[in-house]
Amino acid sequence: MKQAAAAASDARTLVGSSDSYIFLSEIGRGRFGTIHRCYSPTRDAFFACKVINKSLLSDPTDRQCLTNEPTIMSFLPPHPHVIRVHDSVDSPESLSLILDLCLPITLHDLIVSEDRLPEPRVRRFMAQLLSSIAHCHAYGVVHRDIKPENLLLVRGGRRVREDNDGDRDYSYDASKVGEDFSAEEEEFEDYGLKLGDFGSAEWLGEGGMAEGVVGTPHYVAPEVLRGGGYGEKVDLWSAGVVMYVMLAGFEPFRGESVEKVFEAVCRGNLRFPTRVFGGVSAEAKDLLRKMICRDASRRLTAEQALRHSWVANGGGAGQRVVN
């Protein structure tokens, strides 16, 4: 690791509040800035540095997103499936955030490349997503923009060898997602995911309500579109839509224009075409109905969804994997 960083020693260095970081290659671009891979010599570790160019933030909503993201992310205690802000540097021109380094692909890229995902894999991703949402809600934070583009992928969790009797017997440790592997461990065969982009998030506290039409058309909950106050359950609706998209390869509520999509969302008429859902279990469809439920008071909470039999009997963190 150190040689790679030394080779780039003439590269730009960012001095943060707790460390300094050497900029390496660019790994992505958003509307307001760039993401670089960077290296901390003191910690001998790689991070992602998101540099937001303040001159590109023309309207008040964009400026609000800029302040929201670091404030809310720094407030949340670390969680294995939530992108963590390790450091930040604010200047009149830009805001730089030092984040967990993920792979430069999102769940959206994975769904596009694989068309749709097999049910056991969807179950594993949903266990991770629901546990990240439960964590945010436990601290009074509603994300408001859960969608595959905001779910970054990391190398799989690791499988820790549990016995030495020659059997391949492992336990899946979700807390180790994205870390390096030691000789006693083997890489889990799938990706892990991390929830990012807290630009639309809001701190509600206990039982508080949010307002305003925030989110992404295909994923937004009907109560957001109806106007008035809404609570943290909007994230469960969006997570249900993410689950549907992983299984089907398309969104449950569609239309030729944004207005038509909104109308379909408000009708909330959930269908399971046999062509794609014929092979999907009744339990998975039951969970989808309980998450993509128009009546927010009857919709499951993140904790209840984690305890649903489809998630709890096989896909959750701490799951035992036996080959």
Under the rule (CB under 6 A), what is the footprint of ligand ATP? 27-32, 35, 48, 50, 83, 99-102, 104, 106, 152, 197
In what side-by-side order are the strands of the sheet with 158-161? 185-187, 158-161, 169-173, 320-322
Query: Which residue, 144 or 308, has its beta carbon nearer to ligand ATP?
Result: 144
**Helices marked H in the chain:** 2-7, 60-75, 107-114, 119-138, 222-225, 234-248, 258-267, 274-277, 282-291, 302-307, 309-312
Q: How far is the CB of 199 from ligand ATP (least distance, A)?
A: 7
Residue 261 to residue 253: CA distance in whole angstroms: 6
By C-alpha distance, which of 130, 139, 265 is closest to 202?
139
By C-alpha distance, which of 15, 86, 9 is closest to 46?
86
Residue 27 to residue 104: CA distance in whole angstroms: 6
Query: Which residue, 50 or 137, has its beta carbon nearer to ligand ATP?
Result: 50
Q: How far is the CB of 271 from ligand ATP (least distance, A)?
A: 30
Which residue has its beta carbon closest to ligand ATP? 28
Query: Which residue, 46 or 277, has its beta carbon nearer to ligand ATP?
Result: 46
Question: Choosing from 87, 100, 145, 197, which is the catalytic residue?
Answer: 145
> Positive or negative CA dihedral for 148, 151, 152, 157?
negative
Query: Which residue, 57 or 236, has its beta carbon nearer to ligand ATP?
Result: 57
295 belongs to the catalytic site:
no
Q: How far is the CB of 154 from ligand ATP (least distance, A)?
A: 9
Tokens of 253: 């509520």
Query: Which residue, 101 or 204, has its beta carbon nearer to ligand ATP?
Result: 101
Q: How far is the CB of 71 from ligand ATP (least distance, A)?
A: 16
Q: How far is the CB of 178 from ligand ATP (least distance, A)?
A: 10
For residue 51, give every residue at least 6 positions away whose Cβ sits within 8 Å of its Cβ, in sequence order, or none.
33, 34, 35, 36, 94, 95, 96
Catalytic residues: 145
